[in-house]
Amino acid sequence: MKTHPFSEDASHSVAPEPAQPARLHVRLGQIWPAGHFGRLGETIAFTWRRMWRAPVGQPEPVWSRQLVLLALAGLVAVVLLLPFDATVMDFILSNRNQLMRWLASLSQTGKSEWYLVPALLLYLVAATADWRNAGHRVRARLVVLFGQASFLFSSVAITGIAVNLVKIVVGRARPSMFGELGAYHFDPFVVSKYFSSFPSGHSTTLGTVAAVLMIWFPRQWLPIGVVFLTLSSFRVPAAAHYPSDVVGGFMFGLVLTIAMARFLAARRVAFRPRKGKLLPAATGIGRKKQP
């Protein structure tokens, strides 16, 4: 019985092939022959079924106590920052200078397309490959590439859609309306860019990417979190969001992405659970070094 190239069996359980001559290279035409669309459709159908299968064994719960506490910590941070939003924005708008403009430009690292486009391209490269003509080592690398690229794309896209829905429900006025409406004007269910301040979409993207990198490099979770939260905070000097918007968006992306990774880990899709740990392990990335 043949296994699909992106199944766990294909990446880890297939016995290695006999050693090849040192300078033998796999031709690209062997891995990506004609019939790309057929292989893409097959891969999408297989991964969809695999993603919604029953959990394997006794998995860690998706919403673990640690994840719930992380979400509550984010909520508390938002509540604590709310009283300072007006004061901070009044200072920002009264001190527009070159430094503020420079920090505002750095905040553009939160644009979702910076992550969606490369992830989609890598996904297509792996999903259209003909794994049957690739050796075990190449096949295993394609599995890792496919799983992580598809997760990065999906997590940025899903959290981006979700945060836009939350923006509509909350309807907080943007800092551009600060002089007219103040920092605490809410007009729920109004679909307008002027009433979409909370949570910050750029910060949500950065929180999402931070979560993915934390999973890939769990020992560096703290510096990753600090760097990406700092980048998110530059949405305030850009006069695009209030501090509470930034923290709310960052934590929204972070928590939701970790929850999605834990869901997949329970089904052994791209991730595997780590008992008692908040972050699951990415299949095929630093496997020997992770506890």
Percent of the chain exceeding pLDDT 70 equals: 84
Euclidean distance between CA atoms 228 and 115, whole angstroms: 14
Q: Which pLDDT score, from 0 to 100, does residue 141 have?
A: 85
Quick check: 175 pLDDT over 90? yes
Tell me what the mean pLDDT of segment 103-109 comes to. 95
Cβ neighbours of 235 (radius 10 Å): 29
Strand 271-272 to strand 281-282: parallel, antiparallel, or no bridges (unpaired)? antiparallel
Percent of the chain exceeding pLDDT 90 equals: 68
Buried b (16+ CB within 10 A) or exposed e, 208-229: bbbbbbbbbbbeebeebbeebb
Which tokens hold the place of 183? 């920092």
Euclidean distance between CA atoms 137 and 200, whole angstroms: 42
* Cis before 273? omega within 30: no
Query: How much is the mean pLDDT over the chain?
Result: 87
pTM equals 0.87
Tell me what the mean pLDDT of segment 1-22 comes to. 48
Q: Which pLDDT score, from 0 to 100, does residue 56 have?
A: 79
12 confidence band (pLDDT: 50, 70, 90): very low
Tell me what the mean pLDDT of segment 135-164 comes to. 91
Quick check: 204 pLDDT over 90? yes
Q: Which pLDDT score, from 0 to 100, does residue 143 have?
A: 84
Tell me what the mean pLDDT of segment 183-206 comes to. 96
50 confidence band (pLDDT: 50, 70, 90): confident
Q: Which own/partner contact pairs does 72-78 have at CB distance under 8 Å and 24+ positions apart?
A: 73/251, 74/247, 74/248, 74/250, 74/251, 74/252, 74/254, 74/255, 75/251, 77/247, 77/251, 78/244, 78/247, 78/248, 78/251
CB-hemisphere CA count at 13 Å for 50? Answer: 20
Quick check: 135 pLDDT over 80? no
Quick check: 78 pLDDT over 80? yes
Which tokens hold the place of 31? 């891995």
Helix ranges restricted to H, 25-135: 28-31, 36-51, 65-81, 85-94, 98-106, 113-127
Tell me what the mean pLDDT of segment 71-83 comes to. 98
More confident residue, 291 or 113: 113
